[in-house]
Structure 1
Amino acid sequence: MNDIGLKNLATMIYDRCGIDYLKNLKSLNTKISQRIKELELSTWEYCGYLRVEKEEWDKLIELITINETYFFREENLLKEFKETILPQYGGRTKDNPLRIWCAASSTGEEPYTLSMLIEESKLFGHGAVEIIASDINKKVVKKAESGCYSKKSFSFRKTPSEMLNKYFIHKDEEYEVIPVVRNRVKFKNLNMLDPKIEEEVGRVDIIFCRNVLIYFDVDTIKNLSQSFYNLLKDKGYLFLGHAETISGMNSGFNAIYTDSTFYYRKEEEL
């Protein structure tokens, strides 16, 4: 294992997308070793290759990102979203829609789940909700846009049978998300650390960024929380994973705790 080359590569990855492999070079080596072998390059040479062949970043990001997800993940949080948060926006219309950003949406299970819950709430008319779903990995964005999932996929491990029958078209080997749910979601290939992310996403009412911050260091998390703060409208909500927190970072968010979950609300701007 070429530590010098790996450290250089880890630094390049950190600078580009905030994922921190600097303290876990062995894991990085495992993820990229086959690709390095295919190209017949050393790790050091691969760093130079990335600088010349910009499209190689797409392949590298596929290798180093973790895209494990499933429909109806974290039931208690989703219940809070449906029963407590959504009613606060029930008056929204097509001219002033509820806007939700699912950052790091992977293969689409999370934004489609939210869209199903919105449909279940019966609080919103046509066009009254917009869900922006983004991921840095182009391959998973393409998969998400298809709205099709293998019947053998772990994506359905927590999906209630009534929701499966109501919101999916049953095909031979796949389930396809029905149009009314799909049409509410717009997928984008975005890097959350892009300085122009606020222009790409626009102001939103709610942000979901679950099980992502665990891969970032403290400085990156602080930068992201500031970006989330800037993107959210006053009294907007931020949902993180159950193992993630931005408490104590002077982020401008108030933590809201319930008996079964927690999330954050943006304080009003002065």
Structure 2
Amino acid sequence: MSIMALEQLAQYIYEFCGIDYLKNLPSLESKIAYRLKELGLSVWEYSGYVKIEEKERDILIELITVNETYFFREENLLNELKNNIFPLYKEHYKEKTLRIWCAACSSGEEPYTLAMLIKETMLFEKGSVEIIASDINKKVLDKAEKGMYNSKSLSFRKMPYGMLDKYFDLIGDDYKVKDEIREIVKFKNLNMFDNNIEHKIGMADIILCRNVLIYFDTEFIKKAALSFYNILNENGYLFLGHAETVTSVNPGFDTIYTPSIFYYKKGENE
């Protein structure tokens, strides 16, 4: 494949969604090779085609995004939410909706996990919590909205005892998330670097964006951190992956350390 054509396509991907393949062209080449063969196009031709065909852009996003996830991922973080963060909102949110944004939610395991945790706490009345789950990949988002997962899926590899029977219905070879959990989660097809992301999400109390920023450079991390800060309500909380940080690009976040994890609280932006 033409290096210059790959660079052009990588630049388009970077400008559109922030994912940087400019330093890893061989990976981009391997991800699109079969699609190019299907269409009978060269990289040069495809670079132009994807810019004018919105459906093809969606297919490209499916090819280049990583969507590995599972229910009840990162136990220490979930315990912190359940035991220390959610209880903070119990009294204050009796007359107000607790809003949680789960960014880059993939096929839905994380936001559904959060909804199950909410139920397990027994702190909130029905309808008092809303989880906004967003992703740029329409295909995985469609799966998430259906709430159907194959019974042999690795999505269940960390499922705590009893939770499967409690919050899922077995339908043939699939487990379907119960309506009482699904009604808490609202899915949205969004690019987290959309210039209108703050308006589209609205204000939130807690944001989770885990193991996503590692795919972006400093410029896009700074942009994401600013969006997180602006979207969070006063004293709101931000949870990232264990290898991700925003302290160097946004001094408005205070870091909270626990024996097992660290996360961020919205402070005064300087």
Residue of structure 1 in register with 2:216 after alignment: 216
Whether the aligned pair in 2 keeps the contact of 1:104 and 1:212 (CA below 8 Å) is yes
For normalisation by structure 2, the TM-score amounts to 0.97
Aligned residues: 270
* Structure 1 residue 94, shift from structure 2 partner: 7.0
Q: CA deviation at 1:248?
A: 2.2
Q: What's the TM-score, normalizing by structure 1?
A: 0.97
| Contact 1:134–1:190, Cα closer than 8 Å, also in 2 | yes
Aligned-pair identity (%): 61
Corresponding letter in the other structure for 2:124: F
Q: Give the Å deviation of 1:95.
A: 4.8
Q: Partner letter of residue 109 of structure 1?
A: E
Residue 241 of structure 1 and its aligned partner are, at CA, apart by: 0.7
Q: Please state how far the C-alpha of 1:55 moved relative to its aligned partner.
A: 1.8
Aligned to 1:44: 44
Structure 1 regions of 5+ residues with no counterpart? none
**Which residue does the alignment assign to 1:160?**
160
Contact map agreement 1:17 1:193 (CA 8 A) in 2 = yes
- Could you tell me how far apart the structure 2 residues matched to 1:92 and 1:131 are? 17
Residue 135 of structure 1 aligns with which residue? 135
Q: Deviations over 1:167-213 (max 9, x none)?
A: 11122201111111110000000000000001110000000000100
Matched residue SS, 2:58 = helix
Does residue 256 in structure 1 map to residue 252 in structure 2? no
Are 1:102 and 1:209, in contact at CA under 8 Å, matched by a contact in 2? Answer: yes
Bigger shift: residues 243-252 or 110-119: 243-252
Runs in 1 of length 4+ with deviation above 6 angstroms? none
RMSD: 1.2
Partner of 2:59: 59
Give a deviation string over 1:140-175, Cα, whole Å, max 9, x none: 111000011001111001001211111111222011
How do 1:1-270 and structure 2 match up within 5 A?
Answer: 1-93=1-93, 95-268=95-268
Shift of 1:268: 4.1
Say which is worse superposed, 99-108 or 155-164, in terms of deviation: 155-164
Per-residue deviation, 1:46: 0.5
SS of structure 2 residue aligned to 1:175: strand
Q: CA deviation at 1:251?
A: 3.6
**Secondary structure, counterpart of 1:255 in structure 2:** strand
CA distance in 2, matches of 1:228, 1:139: 25
Structure 2: distance between partners of 1:82 and 1:207: 14
